[in-house]
Amino acid sequence: MKPEKSDPGFVPVMESFHTIQGEGYHTGKSAYFVRLGGCDVGCHWCDVKESWDASQYEWISVVKIADEARNSGAEIVVITGGEPLMYDLSSLTEEIKKRGLKTNIETSGAYPLTGTWDWICFSPKKFKEPLDEFYSESNELKVIVYNRSDLKWSQAHGDKMTRSSKLFLQPEWSKSKEVTPLIVEFVKQNPKWQISLQTHKYLDIP
């Protein structure tokens, strides 16, 4: 019997795996990824559209997820999606932290923040407006750049972040040849920003 969506003891898991974090502030670090099913943000360039329909995936106990994360040998657990904050993640992060692991999340900020986090990567999207709380609560802003107009859009979000937040621009993979030179020039003129690359794709790892 499938648990109710409101039951924080279970979440729909599309996949979980031990790999190297490929992008953003923690690039290059060992990390255990838990990709949750379900997303209604609707980015047309999303490279994991198969994650959108949560009904395809098994609802797994947060205890089991946390045990598997601990057994992986990684010290960082990254919760991603889909859009992971469609679910109450308080129990999941509690179990992960009980096992001495760090909790990171990658979110569009479209849903209220739940859970206890060591690092919040906030990646707003034009397709669903983020909530204001993420500008003050997030450690990292990561904006995906698909075209030139995204640079101005990203600056508007960066201006709302706290002074200690890390700011990243990341070329959308299919448009990287066109937009990377634009990002390079932008960062040269706006040095508080940094470039994030999807290094896991260059390395051909998950």
Averaged pLDDT score across all residues of the chain = 95
| Neighbouring C-beta atoms of residue 128, cutoff 10 Å | 16
Query: pTM of the prediction?
Result: 0.94
Q: Express each pLDDT in 39-92 by its tens digit.
A: 999 888 898 999 999 999 999 999 999 999 999 999 999 999 999 999 999 999
Instruction: Write down the pLDDT at residue 1.
Output: 45
**Hey, which residues does 76 pair with through a beta bridge?**
102
Instruction: Write down the pLDDT at residue 158.
Output: 98
Helices (H), the chain: 62-72, 90-98, 133-137, 149-158, 176-189, 199-203
* CA–CA dist 137, 112 (Å, integer): 11
Q: Which domains does the chain have, with CATH numbers?
A: 10-203 (3.20.20.70)
